[in-house]
Structure 1
Amino acid sequence: MASRRSLIRRTAALATAATAAVVLAACGSSNSDSPASAASGHSGRNMAAMSSASPSASVSVAQGSHNAQDVSFAQGMIPHHRQAVAMADLAPSRAKSQQVKDLAAKIKQSQDPEINTMSGWLKAWGEKMPDVGMSGMESSMPGMDHSGSSMPGMMSDGDMNKLKELSGAAFDRAFLQMMISHHQGAVEMAKTERAQGAYGPAMTMAKSIITSQSAQITEMNTMLGK
């Protein structure tokens, strides 16, 4: 009888020890301080950090895809184009030559969309838009208030007033002479962008301006008999 009770006690002790071992093992496997868990957690944190850093890196690359010359190009070419469009707007009611009217329409048709595109760049870059005064919109007519401009080819107040007062053959000749000078200035600005810019779309637009406006300069010189 005594031996039977002793056997029961030994069996119970062994069972208790086994249970304790299982509990300790379970606690040890869930311990976040274990090397395996630490490595896993560190790896997870690294992956999360890399994931969260990637968009920022992409944004930085996008924001760094243009330089100061690209900004200067857009800020200068917008009012330059606006003045050309203002000059072109005078042609339908003042020009005598249909060739001059057609040329003015082409200038407006090509430069209006470019103004919108460059305005979009500046907004996307968080850069200042050209002042309204630079385009002459505050004046009695668009395209004035440029006598103090340092941009090549820009007409002065006097030039714009003179053109506004002309009509017929006199307007045609003055328009062509002034627009040739204006285009030459735009080509000069575009060449600077090609040489010093970094933003692909701006450099592509600059190339287009050089090509199209150089061709129009040749066309206008022919119309003037040169």
Structure 2
Amino acid sequence: MKHVYRTTAACAAALITLTLAGCGSDDAGSMPGMNHSSSSTPAATYNDADVTFTTQMIPHHQQAVQMAGMAGYQATTPAVKKLAAAIEAAQDPEIKLMSGWLTSWGKPVPSPEHGGHNMSGDGMMTEEEMSELGNAKGAMFDRMWTQMMIKHHQGAITMAKTEQTNGKNPASIALAKKIQSAQTTEIATMKRLLGQLPVS
């Protein structure tokens, strides 16, 4: 009986070995395709437009998050507070995502101190405008914040459209599409909101 068990075990081991060998050959056959697809990862496929978009959108988002934080403390209209919270919740993770891309591309990541207030045509607020917003109170703050955020979003949409036209990295282009779609919707919401906010 022991001999029979040994024979059965040997056959089972041989069968397992053949099965594994078959799996190995399948994997080996698919490797060229796998290697080809890996070249499409964010770290491997990008161009100057991707780097420019990501490098500029990070400080752009950082300022939007800063403005959203201000609204959390200073806004008096619930709709403004709700919108500000949504903007912060959406853009803060995107900052982390884009920062990871720049790191994988071997490019410097803009710091919050970098500011970016000198970038033209992108909807960024100047230091003076941010200071003015910080000093505004009550309904005046709500109206000023909404007007500034509309301008801010319009700048982001312009940047996102440029990335979709000139970019190469699939993930970066997908994010640009997402930004354009989300912020177009938010602009429509803010324009309706402006019609409801008191003038002073």
Alignment TM class, shorter chain as reference: 0.7 to 0.9
Does residue 173 (structure 1) correspond to residue 153 (structure 2)? The answer is: no
2:166 paired residue among 187, 196, 199: 196
Distance 1:223 1:59, change over 3 A: closer
| Structure 1 Cα separation of the partners of residues 112 and 46 of structure 2 | 24
2:95 paired residue among 88, 105, 115: 115
Do the aligned partners of 1:80 and 1:154 also contact (CA within 8 Å) in 2?
Answer: yes
Q: Which residue number corresponds to residue 88 of structure 1?
A: 68
Q: Note the alpha carbon deviations across 1:116-154, whole angstroms, 9 max, x for none.
A: 00000001111111144323xxxxxxxxxx542235100
Distance 1:202 1:63, change over 3 A: closer
Structure of larger gyration radius:
1
* 1:3-152 map, 5 Å: 63-135=43-115, 146-150=116-120, 152=122
- Alignment root-mean-square deviation, CA: 2.4
Letter in 2 for 1:96: T
| Structure 1 Cα separation of the partners of residues 111 and 126 of structure 2 | 17
Length, aligned pairs only: 164
| Structure 1 Cα separation of the partners of residues 39 and 165 of structure 2 | 26
Percentage of pairs with the same residue: 44
The Cα of 1:167 is off from its aligned counterpart by 2.0
Do the aligned partners of 1:76 and 1:151 also contact (CA within 8 Å) in 2?
Answer: no
2:130 paired residue among 145, 155, 160: 160
Do the aligned partners of 2:157 and 2:180 also contact (CA within 8 Å) in 1?
Answer: yes
Unmatched runs of 5 consecutive residues or more in structure 2: 1-30
| Structure 1 Cα separation of the partners of residues 55 and 106 of structure 2 | 12
2:156 paired residue among 186, 189, 213: 186
Higher relative contact order (CA 8 A, sep 6+): 2
The Cα of 1:213 is off from its aligned counterpart by 0.2
| Structure 2 Cα separation of the partners of residues 199 and 206 of structure 1 | 11
| Structure 2 Cα separation of the partners of residues 134 and 168 of structure 1 | 30
TM-score (norm 1): 0.67
TM-score (norm 2): 0.75
SS at match of 1:106: helix
Do the aligned partners of 1:89 and 1:104 also contact (CA within 8 Å) in 2?
Answer: yes
Q: Which residue number corresponds to residue 5 of structure 1?
A: none
Q: Which residue number corresponds to residue 8 of structure 2?
A: none
Distance 1:112 1:63, change over 3 A: closer
Q: Note the alpha carbon deviations across 1:142-190, whole angstroms, 9 max, x for none.
A: xxxx542235100001100011111210000000000000000000000
Do the aligned partners of 1:123 and 1:129 also contact (CA within 8 Å) in 2?
Answer: yes
Do the aligned partners of 1:80 and 1:186 also contact (CA within 8 Å) in 2?
Answer: yes
